């Protein structure tokens, strides 16, 4: 079932990278675009279809680059615009698409627009932001996104220069843009054109769920601004028919479908499923995962981008409180592992006790779920976190390439690195690194490469409704996609004990069943019944004809 070139994203595997943490080419302690170019063959061997780059624009860098000061440049610490173009060319030569972060819900307070807006009430930029002479009353549905980190949880901050309060859903140094202003929309379209001209294949739309909310004081909360997102899509397709928009829309389940569509978003980061997969991995029970799938049904007009971890906290907000507490107890038993009252600031591998079987199970499950998988740099080798770093920085440590000093990330003195490398314990770079895993045929890295390729050739997953197959074990998840010529059947044992299930094959039975991934023992009882024995944390992908 090969698809047209415009539907490439339905079988894509996206690899998420923070340029400053990936590879430092000039020894100044900060990863850069030339360093990233040197590692493109690594990404190519991983067989990722696309990379998603975190913001790399000039920035005061108080929110990991999500506080943009200039939308048309490259942060000088990371290189030049010329380096960026060279990177896109080199990626293109390897068939790797480049997606970049479009952060236009807000700017940095250092952006010239905001500086003009606050100092000159008559400036055309005044109305680029949202102001109020009086402090608007708190609104329980529109609180800060960073409880505990933003002073008194406020979303309005007084600017003495402007003599007014301005609105910000994130930190106070990230004033929200007034997206209802047509001039602001034109600015955004111009930014998109610029990067599309330089060859990017699309954008991750930061904070899309906040972009569609009305922002002015006293607004009607039921008003919606999906037209803002539709405008982005119109700009994109004018320049690139295979371009995509991947939205960070961490919205309520009943709202999610409204983001999809030919005239809106192609892909949605699946926050609902993320929390629910994690809950199933933690409790070793299938039920939360099933609930997550019910909340994020298949739709032909869009594709889910599923993930286990991203660059932020693992947000458990969407879980029922009892399950959330259980997940906290199992995966973040210490207070220091938690953040914002809703999240976990750990990487995947340590949450799974560094157990290779369990980590492989988690990735196999992720890659089999309806939609496409997104992989966070370093998770393919099972990197850990550094809880001594503040807030969400705990998981944003440099890539671990080899055993040399600074994990081969940089030749700068260790105290000059942008962030320290994880250099001790079970996940220290002497134990967890690319070079060591290359040398070991059984390593996570070598297995993930195989998983990526297997997913990319299994078109049924990105294209079809997924059917949950009833089995008698509450810790074994079986699901299937039915194509015209074959169906693909999966069995995942979430528990640390061996188990067996009986699976009834589809209507007419099957001529042949064989495993394409995993290591199960199977026994064909008859042409309609399959007995599958799974090892502890075992899994299998079957092709059924």
Binding site for ligand NOJ (CB under 6 A): 63-64, 66, 103, 170, 206-207, 248, 311-312
Closest approach of ligand NOJ to the CB of residue 146, in Å: 8
Closest approach of ligand NOJ to the CB of residue 204, in Å: 9
Close Cβ partners of 533 (under 8 Å, ≥ 6 residues apart):
498, 499, 500, 520, 521, 522, 523
Closest approach of ligand NOJ to the CB of residue 68, in Å: 9
Q: Smaller CB distance to ligand NOJ: residue 310 or 437?
A: 310
Closest approach of ligand NOJ to the CB of residue 105, in Å: 7
CB-based contact 518:451 (threshold 8 Å): no
CB-based contact 215:176 (threshold 8 Å): yes
Would you list the DSSP string of 492-517? Answer: EE-SSS-EEEEEEPPTT--S-EEEEE
Which residue in the shown chain puts its C-beta closest to ligand NOJ?
A: 66
Per-residue tokens: 426: 């079970």
Closest approach of ligand NOJ to the CB of residue 177, in Å: 12
CA angle 194, 196, 201 (to 5 degrees): 155
CB-based contact 418:398 (threshold 8 Å): yes
- Count Cβ neighbours within 10 Å for each residue of 107-125 and write b for 16 or more, e otherwise: bbbbbebbbebbeeeeeeb
Closest approach of ligand NOJ to the CB of residue 64, in Å: 6
In the beta sheet, which residues pair with residue 469?
Answer: 478
Q: Smaller CB distance to ligand NOJ: residue 66 or 129?
A: 66
Q: Smaller CB distance to ligand NOJ: residue 11 or 67?
A: 67
Tell me, yes or no, if 197 is annotated catalytic. no
Q: Could you identify the residue written with the tokens 């394409």?
A: 516
Q: Could you identify the residue written with the tokens 């506080």?
A: 67
Tell me, yes or no, if 206 is annotated catalytic. yes
Q: Smaller CB distance to ligand NOJ: residue 270 or 463?
A: 270
Set 101, 206, 285, 313: catalytic member = 206
Q: Smaller CB distance to ligand NOJ: residue 145 or 198?
A: 145
Nearest to 60 by CA among 111, 9, 121: 111
Q: Smaller CB distance to ligand NOJ: residue 54 or 273?
A: 54
Q: Is 54 exposed, middle or buried (0-12, 13-18, 19+ CB in 10 A)?
A: buried
Q: Smaller CB distance to ligand NOJ: residue 147 or 465?
A: 147
Per-residue tokens: 362: 């988690």
Q: What is d(CA 111, CA 68) in angstroms, rounded to the nearest whole number?
A: 7
The β-bridge relationship of strands 267-269 and 303-307 is: parallel
Nearest to 278 by CA among 362, 346, 350: 362
CB-based contact 542:511 (threshold 8 Å): no
Closest approach of ligand NOJ to the CB of residue 207, in Å: 5
Q: What is d(CA 501, CA 179) in angstroms, rounded to the nearest whole number?
A: 53
Close Cβ partners of 34 (under 8 Å, ≥ 6 residues apart):
25, 26, 79, 83
Closest approach of ligand NOJ to the CB of residue 160, in Å: 25
Set 248, 385, 460, 543: catalytic member = 248
Q: Smaller CB distance to ligand NOJ: residue 248 or 380?
A: 248
Describe the chain by its helix, strand, coil percentages, rounded to 5. 35, 20, 50
Give catalytic residues, as residue numbers: 206, 248
């Amino acid at each position: 079932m090969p698809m047209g070139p415009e539907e490439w994203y339905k079988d894509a595997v996206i690899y998420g990278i923070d340029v400053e943490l990936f590879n430092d080419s000039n020894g100044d302690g900060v990863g850069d675009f030339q360093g990233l170019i040197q590692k493109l063959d690594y990404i190519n061997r991983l067989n990722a279809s696309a990379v998603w780059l975190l913001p790399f624009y000039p920035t005061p860098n108080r929110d990991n680059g999500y506080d943009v000061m200039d939308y048309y440049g490259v942060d000088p610490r990371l290189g030049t615009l010329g380096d960026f173009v060279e990177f896109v060319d080199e990626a293109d030569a390897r068939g790797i698409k480049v997606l970049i972060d479009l952060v236009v819900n807000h700017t940095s307070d250092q952006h010239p627009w905001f500086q003009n807006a606050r100092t000159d009430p008559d400036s055309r930029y005044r109305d680029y932001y949202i102001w109020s002479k009086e402090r608007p009353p708190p609104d329980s549905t529109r609180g800060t996104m960073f409880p505990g980190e933003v002073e008194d949880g406020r979303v309005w901050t007084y600017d003495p220069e402007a003599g007014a309060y301005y609105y910000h859903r994130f930190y106070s140094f990230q004033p929200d843009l007034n997206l209802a202003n047509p001039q602001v929309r034109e600015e955004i379209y111009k930014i998109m054109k610029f990067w599309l001209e330089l060859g990017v294949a699309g954008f991750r739309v930061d904070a899309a769920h906040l972009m569609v909310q009305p922002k002015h004081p006293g607004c009607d909360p039921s008003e919606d601004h999906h037209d803002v997102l539709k405008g982005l899509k119109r700009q994109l397709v004018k320049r690139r028919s295979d371009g995509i928009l991947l939205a960070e829309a961490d919205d309520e389940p009943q709202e999610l479908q409204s983001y999809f569509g030919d005239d809106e978003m192609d892909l949605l980061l699946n926050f609902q499923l993320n929390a629910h997969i994690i809950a199933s991995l933690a409790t070793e029970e299938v039920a939360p995962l099933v609930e997550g799938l019910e909340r994020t049904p298949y739709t032909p007009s869009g594709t889910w981008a599923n993930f286990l971890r991203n660059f932020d906290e693992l947000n458990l907000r969407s879980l029922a409180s009892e399950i959330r507490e259980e997940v906290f107890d199992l995966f973040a038993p210490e207070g220091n592992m938690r953040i914002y009252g809703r999240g976990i600031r750990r990487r995947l591998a340590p949450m799974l006790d560094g157990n290779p079987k369990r980590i492989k199970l988690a990735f196999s499950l992720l890659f089999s779920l309806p939609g496409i998988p997104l992989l966070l740099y370093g998770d393919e080798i099972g990197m850990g976190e550094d809880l001594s770093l503040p807030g969400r920085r705990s998981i944003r440590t440099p890539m671990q390439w080899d055993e040399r000093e600074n994990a081969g990330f940089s030749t700068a003195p260790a105290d000059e690195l942008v962030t320290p490398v994880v250099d001790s314990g079970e996940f220290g770079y002497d134990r967890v690194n690319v070079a060591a895993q290359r040398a070991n045929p059984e390593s996570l890295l070598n297995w993930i490469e195989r998983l990526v390729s297997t997913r990319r050739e299994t078109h049924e997953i990105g294209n079809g409704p997924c059917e949950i197959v009833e089995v008698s074990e509450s810790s074994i998840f079986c699901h299937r996609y039915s194509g015209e010529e074959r169906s693909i059947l999966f069995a995942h044992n979430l528990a640390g004990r061996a188990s067996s299930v009986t699976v009834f094959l589809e209507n007419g039975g099957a001529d042949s069943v064989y495993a394409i991934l995993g290591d199960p023992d199977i026994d064909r009882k008859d042409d309609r019944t399959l007995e599958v024995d799974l090892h502890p944390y075992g899994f299998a992908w079957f092709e059924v004809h």
